[in-house]
Structure 1
Amino acid sequence: MSIETSLWQRSRRAAYEEITSVAMGLFLEQGFEPTTIDQIASSAGISRRSFFRYFGTKEDIVLGDLASQGELVLAALERIPPTVGPWEALREALHAVDALTIDPEVTLKIARMMYQTSSLRSRSIEKHLHWQALLVPDIRRRLGIAEDDVTNPAPAAIVASAIACLDAAGEVWVEGDGLADLASLYDQAVAGVRGTS
């Protein structure tokens, strides 16, 4: 990597973080839907066209890291010994990337905004489907199912259920004003799905 490329990447990352910070401030102050892309661009000191160099949609500002977090979950999952069962491995991987750990004050505001905004919920589901596509092959191997055997729905069902449990736990956490432990709520959700509660 050349010095010029490295400098460009750092500059781009700094601009991305600045736009995100400005936008999140506006979202938390006046709400997601009332905040326009033009307002974000103006407040960040960039053009509308420049905004779209960094973000495909307004929703991506809030949920942009969710897709990349799926890659982190996969990397963590692949480091877990194959003898660890699928449910336990998924929990360990989520914990390894801090998906079950949150900063209560800021995260509560962001999560509340997400659960109350239909476009954010829809975009979140899209990104979780991306997680599912990433994680299913590892779970298929843990179940001893051949990689080319796509006839067994169990791996996809387990991953989809784990993601749904994370989402359900998050929603209950928000409804309880962030006072409960998110990891415990996730465990309760999984126990309910698995019939072990």
Structure 2
Amino acid sequence: MSAVLLRKQLTRDDSYLWPRLNPSSQFSLKSILLSCIQSEDFKSISKKLCDTVSELAFGILPDSGWPEWLPFMFQCVSSDSLKLQESAFLIFAQLSHSTGDTLVPHIKHLHGVFLRCLTSASSSTDVKIASFNAVISFIQCLSNSADRDRFQDLLRPITRTLMESLNNGQEAPRKRYFNC
């Protein structure tokens, strides 16, 4: 609940708190949020933290207000921790539409990350679904057809992930992307 309240105070409430914080407090808060993502063990709280990080990043990334964010994200998706991988993909999925341009210079690395996750036998279903959501969101934000074409080889693993999730009774990807 505190992550939800913090998100509302930092990002969209009438009393938008973020710009009123001094730079030291802003830096500390960003660091604490990233640290909490790494240490939180409860999945529901972790998802709320991801929502908070996503919304804060949405507001400050365009102004280069969080230089630590992208290295942290790449560290998480490259981690051996399935929890950190899933968290990073959840954040990427939420932010792709608004920060896709920021990520385009890293398209080759992102492609490799998505491919590795979607094809790895050691990735959990939750991580694969989070990666599925992130890659679909990212591809949708790409305005250059050549950039989108780079991801054609992911079609088979994306389809496999979707089929596995449906076979396991997980309806969220179908509902989100196929409106049925």
Fold shared, TM-score > 0.5 on shorter chain: no
TM-score, length of structure 1 as denominator length: 0.35
